[in-house]
Structure 1
């Protein structure tokens, strides 16, 4: 039996999961969960990363005897270290307004292959007042790994979200980094590489962008699949061997991010269940009764990717203003789910058209796989079967990459995905 600890940090919560690989199966158990969210300091929105680190240490103690540790988190945000390796300030939250109005330079897509998101790391650095004082930049998982091990590096899958990687070479782009301080960006490492050790336990680089880990655990039976990693964001796309850098791809706002084993995650960001989470926070109410009622009402379609929905705040009012009519809570919930399902379908259709990758099954993984109404509406909108689960795809992908690194499992992504199918409950939705 092999046991590993997966540290999985999301935009609203974090947890430490103990994963056990034995008898051809992978099992996970959450041993510690903790809240995460934005912290206002002055006129900026930050993350409390030292607080997250304290919670990670607590979780690792609860995990017991383990053979490896791996860390994944959301993308793009970073900490800056001074010349002595100390954190200059709490990292700024990607939903902060400091990058409002930033425009991408011409020709950028041909180099980094990323859809334009104003909060990508390269644009945050344009608005970074502490850059002249910085000795090195570490993305969030790499920062926590550094605090555990004393060793610095930049895990590849997350580094590709910064906008500073040349998608063709898989290396930091000399052109895109030429105006940054020398040695600001650390050496790249890849999933499965050693990231040091913590009290004698190996720390293993995993797909440290949480979506990269989630895609590892998509239980696909062949290559003809699309995935929707559905949580705060919906990441909708296909897995490719090479990037798609055409003008049509750029116009469709598709991104080419690095995946495990040299794959490309060709996807579009959709605003996701953030819309629903913010409504529930405003209403201070439970979701399940609203979902039951929403199944029997009509909603109104809106564009979930409109930037007006990006900041935290009064989401129900913004949705009603966009739709131009007052709605009940159930109608707002149905409007969110209908609009997300249509956005999912549009992204799946565009991914096929732009990449040439045909799809016969759509996999929804992550917390959104529990939302039966959203899964059915997505199947209806796509006109394709939807397989829902595993809900814990990110943690499972993290665990599986570690398990392979320490020799507990072997093989390709297809072999890891077979292990997921053998181990995890899945649900199938057919289009109506």
Structure 2
């Protein structure tokens, strides 16, 4: 059983073939490519033509290797979308969520619908990058593309449309929009009406682990992949990543660690309390009828931007060197709040961190080691703060945390998390999103009975690594002195 996972991030994408045999899953990455946003005029776009070209190349390379694919499925980052007209033409390149077009739009929206009502309906954390504010910005600017548009398709829906010709909105990605009713799991007519947004743009909701359709004939001919099914999975990458975690019970949490950090728990129903809203928790759709009750946190974005700056300056910045320098730096010297707006898209991340520390009367990090230690310790302290509120809002007692995604390779950060939270940190699913994607395809293809069987396969396939708490008193004492920066 071979399935192709098209796992697309806000920076890079991969085409990964997954084979399920003898109760195990193995992966073969057949294509990797960059997916940077492109500034044109005053707008930051995604280059959808390049993205789709790389998707076809990934399919072609998988077919060229002789793999007999039984399915293809797409997962991507959330909130962004493309608009198509009545003839099925893409009206423009999708705009990147980091574009400035939504600045101040949430305040305009609050005149028509309060933030409290918006949360009570959707359960989604109020962020100006959300689709609802992107869509409202088009209306506010009287952008003609909105009157021409016939359908709104989120990034994975848009890709699935051009792969199959079938129009649909997948549930987990739709839930990131802040336009979906968290309880009915249908588009909220209340929100659309109050903001005077066109209901005609929204399509029927489909759910993970279902068949969308066959690959278009012209793409099959171009790639050499004939007669292949395209399946719906948790097309929000976080949903597929969490679906891969082989855990039971209610005493565990997840941390999807990458550019963004998503810290939370799985629940059967959304948590729509005022306490949850005030603490910026979000209720996003998960696989297997679950809700991902979690907090979006700016994660390794700060470190990634620092490394980008050092690379451009031709300075030494490989991870081995940076982590060695980090270990030499003084602990808890400077702490920043990664969610502060100054870190969203600064001209220089190094300068932004130093200016933040100066404003908050902390020692200014100078060396690379001090800057890296500042970022990693700050994230661990942030996770501590969010975990505290997470347990308050859910009434759960969390005993251990699964870290998945690219950040799960960061051993230094994982140890900091174990120390700060005083709980075991379990890693091993670096490619959690692709694994979750592939397992869901096998379920849709009726080769695996359900997610429980999928988890047994995952347990058999990947070795877990556990980080145990150390130096907890030092972290507890340090957090007591600095946690006011997060409150």
TM-score (norm 2): 0.86
Per the alignment, residue 373 of structure 1 pairs with 412
Whether 2:102 is the aligned partner of 1:99: answer: yes
Per the alignment, residue 296 of structure 1 pairs with 328
Pairs within 5 Å for 1:389-428: 389-411=428-450, 413-428=451-466
Separation (CA, whole Å) in 1 of partners of 2:412 and 2:434: 24
Compare 232-241 and 304-313 and name the one that shifted more: 304-313
Per the alignment, residue 191 of structure 1 pairs with 208
Separation (CA, whole Å) in 2 of partners of 1:426 and 1:313: 39
Separation (CA, whole Å) in 2 of partners of 1:24 and 1:207: 22
Per the alignment, residue 473 of structure 2 pairs with none
On the 8 A contact 1:40/1:46 being kept in 2, the answer is yes
On the 8 A contact 1:166/1:173 being kept in 2, the answer is yes
Per the alignment, residue 66 of structure 1 pairs with 69
Per the alignment, residue 132 of structure 1 pairs with 147
Whether 2:280 is the aligned partner of 1:247: answer: no
Per the alignment, residue 481 of structure 2 pairs with none
Paired residue total: 430
Secondary structure of the structure 1 residue equivalent to 2:201? coil
Pairs within 5 Å for 1:23-422: 23-64=22-63, 65-103=68-106, 104=110, 105-106=113-114, 107-128=117-138, 129=143, 130-178=145-193, 179-198=196-215, 199=220, 200-284=227-311, 285-298=317-330, 299-311=333-345, 313-324=347-358, 325-411=364-450, 413-422=451-460
Q: C-alpha deviations, 1:62-115, integer Å up to 9, x for none?
A: 112200000000000000111211111111100011111222431110000011
Secondary structure of the structure 2 residue equivalent to 1:408? coil
On the 8 A contact 2:325/2:368 being kept in 1, the answer is no
Separation (CA, whole Å) in 1 of partners of 2:237 and 2:339: 20
Separation (CA, whole Å) in 1 of partners of 2:452 and 2:468: 24
On the 8 A contact 1:278/1:312 being kept in 2, the answer is no
Separation (CA, whole Å) in 2 of partners of 1:373 and 1:420: 25
Separation (CA, whole Å) in 2 of partners of 1:314 and 1:218: 36
Separation (CA, whole Å) in 2 of partners of 1:185 and 1:70: 21
Q: C-alpha deviations, 1:353-409, integer Å up to 9, x for none?
A: 101222111010000000000000001111100001211000001011001111222
On the 8 A contact 1:216/1:416 being kept in 2, the answer is no
Q: C-alpha deviations, 1:299-344, integer Å up to 9, x for none?
A: 4111010011112531111011101124211111111000111111
Larger radius of gyration: 2
- For residue 419 of structure 1, report the CA deviation from its aligned partner: 2.1
Separation (CA, whole Å) in 2 of partners of 1:382 and 1:316: 27
On the 8 A contact 2:79/2:154 being kept in 1, the answer is yes
Whether 2:447 is the aligned partner of 1:430: answer: no
Secondary structure of the structure 2 residue equivalent to 1:67? strand
On the 8 A contact 1:226/1:361 being kept in 2, the answer is yes
RMSD: 1.2
Separation (CA, whole Å) in 2 of partners of 1:350 and 1:429: 23
Gaps of 5+ in 1: none
Separation (CA, whole Å) in 2 of partners of 1:423 and 1:384: 25
Secondary structure of the structure 1 residue equivalent to 2:119? helix
Separation (CA, whole Å) in 2 of partners of 1:257 and 1:225: 18
Secondary structure of the structure 1 residue equivalent to 2:355? helix
Q: C-alpha deviations, 1:224-264, integer Å up to 9, x for none?
A: 21000001100000000011111110000000001001100
On the 8 A contact 2:240/2:432 being kept in 1, the answer is yes
- For residue 348 of structure 1, report the CA deviation from its aligned partner: 2.0
Gaps of 5+ in 2: 221-226, 312-316, 359-363, 471-487
Structure with the bigger percentage of helix? 2
- For residue 154 of structure 1, report the CA deviation from its aligned partner: 0.3
On the 8 A contact 1:301/1:338 being kept in 2, the answer is yes
